[in-house]
Chains A and B, each alone.
Chain A
Amino acid sequence: MATVALKDLVKTFDKTEVLHGINLEVEDGEFVVFVGPSGCGKSTTLRMLAGLEEVTSGEIHIGDMMVNHLEPKERNIAMVFQNYAIYPHMSVRKNIGFGLRTAKMPKADKEKRIDEVAAILSMSELLDRRPSQLSGGQRQRVAIGRAMVRDPQVFLFDEPLSNLDAQLRTQMRLEIKKLHQRVGTTIIFVTHDQVEAMTLADRIVIMKDGYIQQVGTPTDVYQTPANLFVAQFIGAPSMNMLEGKLTDRGIALDAGFTIPAKPKNTSQDITIGIRPSELTPAKEGEPALMEGSVSVVEPLGSETLIYVDIGATEIVATVPGRILPELGAKVRLIAPEEEIHFFDTKTGDALK
């Protein structure tokens, strides 16, 4: 187990800067998830950490050591790849033991270690099979086993679940979480799926265009997003965003209604954000925050997503599953004042 620190990490490919000074400290034993859209630099950061990409400038520390100039094998890390990278010409046992090939330990100890790892991953009876005889989930487990067998200081996962179907992904997500609770090794996990990030992480690092947007616990980033991007990226369905202008009476929204609240910042152009789950139908006689007509209804069983046209803006509200309004029906919605987020439209930053 070890801490990981990234200091002013910059990466350029052919004069194009793709990472613009990443700073991050990962605690010993922490599960950190890098999340962001394609091209945000999350995988590049991970690959630099693994030693598979050269560092243009900045420092990477694993434990007490700066590892910039160390070969991947000297960094005592293990990586699980998106395509598993398990070798089709080797049995499961050989695949898991592959990481020990260069380890200086007696053969019997190596075998014992492979058996231990296989037992942890419930794969003992599959050791003599070839990867072609395994299911997708089992192959992923072999890949994790190969990483575990070396007992590394840090585990790196590069979108390891994206090739699995939805059900298997949920199952493997749970297994990875249990594995972390059991072995306690520092894990850095890259994904583009915010649900994976929220469910697995101790802390989430949200990236966009080579910059870190926010670092925080899943609750932090969900409840107090640092900017418009984080607010929209985290949470499904995305947060409703309504643009408006600051007036004497509050924020006059382009959608045609005014919110009495006034954020402390003096910016004139303000965007408000409300999570779909915070919008509820107003009771009769209760003053509504906004009003509109239902354009689409998506029943999901336990809840229903209602798309409502408010002026020219469409918003979505998550309501209990038993509520199924008709198309075109008028709805009046309310939201708790403390659940309304304010952002500077120009800079995208959150306002208090």
Chain B
Amino acid sequence: MSMTEIKPSAATLDKQLIASYSHINPGKIIRWTLLFMGGVVMVMPIVYMLSTSLKWPHEIYNLSIIPDEPTLENYIFVLEDGRFYKWFINSLIIATATTVSAVLFDSMVGYALCKFSFRGRMFVFIAILSTLMIPTEMLVIPWYIMARDFGWLNSYWGIMFPGMMTAFGTFLMKQFFETVPDDFLEAARIDGLNELQIWWSVAMPLVTPALSALAIFIFLGNWTAFIWPLIVTNSPDFYTLPVGLTTFSVEQSVQWELIMTGAALATIPTLIVFLVFQRYIIRGVVMAGLKG
């Protein structure tokens, strides 16, 4: 039996070609172009950071993305320099402790403002919200005076105390607790839990997405914080990474390759935090979809 191959005619092929391209309309092209440009703006600094960290000092003002002679010397230098570890640990302790504290206290205050009715509740809420309108730069001086008077200069506590609780977090958590039905809390109350247990074991698990989002914001904010840690510390022992990295630029010249190497290393924990908590955000959203 002979097989006959059916070949599409040239006209059919043209039509198919037109059809396959017809869904690319001008609007789509503009959207994609804008997205691409946005992506380039976001990604290029990171690409240059990585590229510079792999260059020799004499090559850093050569703006080629791929180094002529790639080297890991900068990484070896930074990692062998004991100060980097110290700053890394400082940053890690400060960002972690601040995140834990802020997530706990913000959600506790947000919960109280949302689920308990007491005299002056609105006033307290507005007072907390109004602090969002004051820029950090203005708060730095009173914080500094406070830290100096209490003897908190050059200490972890001095760096951490302004961020142990945040107005933004309180607002965010209060809004999220609004979505937790009162029935859940009342059922737990009847089952014999006290208010602290209800908050911890019933309300908190129901707002995991918000907690994760808040944890990411606060951790990143503290990890990259620069002005306040710079002002409140003057001993390299208490420098955080962003502050410490600047010391590579204060001596004879700016050692960009070392700053970029430190910065590249500093992004690792933020990536980990994001990847870990992102999973919880997705799980939380799935859980939030469960209705009666």
Contacts and interface: CB of A to CB of B under 8 A. Distances in A.
Contacts of B189: 51-52, 71-73
A15 interface: no
B80 interface: no
B186 interface: yes
Interface stretch (A97-105, A177-185, A209-217): A97-105
A101 B292 contact: no
Nearest to B284: A89
Contacts of B286: 132
Residue of A102, A103, A150 ringed by the most chain B CB atoms within 10 A? A102
B287 A101 contact: no
Given A81-B187, A150-B191, A132 B292 contact: no
Nearest to B189: A72
A99 B192 CA distance: 7
Interface string B262-292: 0000000000000000000000001100101
Given A81-B183, A85-B183, A132 B287 contact: yes
Contacts of A103: 192
A136 B190 contact: no
Nearest to B288: A88
Interface string B163-185: 00000000000000000010110
A81 B192 CA distance: 16
Given A83-B292, A85-B183, A131-B290, A101 B191 contact: yes
A50 interface: yes
B198 to A, nearest CB: 11
Contact of A78 (B181, B190, B205, B206): B190
Nearest to A99: B191
Interface string A78-99: 1101111101110000000011
Given A52-B186, A73-B189, A150-B191, A89 B205 contact: yes
A42 B36 CA distance: 61
Given A85-B181, A88-B287, A163-B292, A79 B193 contact: no
Nearest to A100: B191
A132 B292 CA distance: 9
Interface in A96-141: 98-99, 101-103, 131-132, 136, 139
Nearest to A72: B190
A142 to B, nearest CB: 11
A350 interface: no
Contact of B290 (A51, A78, A132): A132
Contacts of B183: 81-85
Nearest to B286: A132
Interface string A290-318: 00000000000000000000000000000
B interface residue count range (under 10 / 10 to 19 / 20 to 34 / 35 or more): 10 to 19
A71 to B, nearest CB: 8
Please classify the interface of chain A as helix (H, G, I), strand (E, B), loop, or mixed, using the class held by over half of its residues.
Answer: loop
A198 interface: no
A48 interface: no
A31 B187 CA distance: 21
B134 to A, nearest CB: 35
Given A52-B189, A78-B190, A85 B290 contact: no
A223 B162 CA distance: 71
A62 interface: no
B290 A88 contact: yes
B292 A73 contact: no
A88 B283 CA distance: 12
Contacts of B205: 87, 89
B202 interface: yes
Contacts of A252: none
A89 B206 contact: yes
A84 B292 contact: yes
A81 B287 contact: no
Nearest to B204: A89
B187 to A, nearest CB: 4
A167 to B, nearest CB: 17
Contacts of A139: 292
Nearest to A74: B192
Contact of A77 (B181, B190, B206, B287): B190
Given A79-B187, A87-B184, A89-B287, A102 B192 contact: yes
Interface in A137-178: 139, 146, 150, 163
Nearest to B291: A83
B202 A87 contact: yes
A87 B192 CA distance: 16
A73 B187 contact: no
Contacts of B208: 89
Interface string B87-131: 000000000000000000000000000000000000000000000
Nearest to A79: B190
A101 B193 contact: yes
A233 to B, nearest CB: 27
A337 B188 CA distance: 54
A256 B133 CA distance: 74
B292 A136 contact: yes
Interface string B211-224: 00000000000000
A85 B187 contact: yes
A71 B188 CA distance: 12
19 contacts: A52-B189, A72-B186, A72-B189, A73-B190, A73-B191, A77-B190, A79-B187, A79-B190, A85-B181, A85-B184, A87-B184, A88-B206, A89-B287, A98-B191, A99-B192, A102-B193, A132-B287, A150-B191, A163-B292
Q: Sort A-B residue pairs by CB-CB distance and give the 4 closest, nearest first.
A: A73-B192, A102-B192, A85-B187, A85-B183
Interface of B: 181, 183-184, 186-193, 202, 205-206, 208, 286-287, 290, 292
Interface of A: 50-52, 71-73, 77-79, 81-85, 87-89, 98-99, 101-103, 131-132, 136, 139, 146, 150, 163
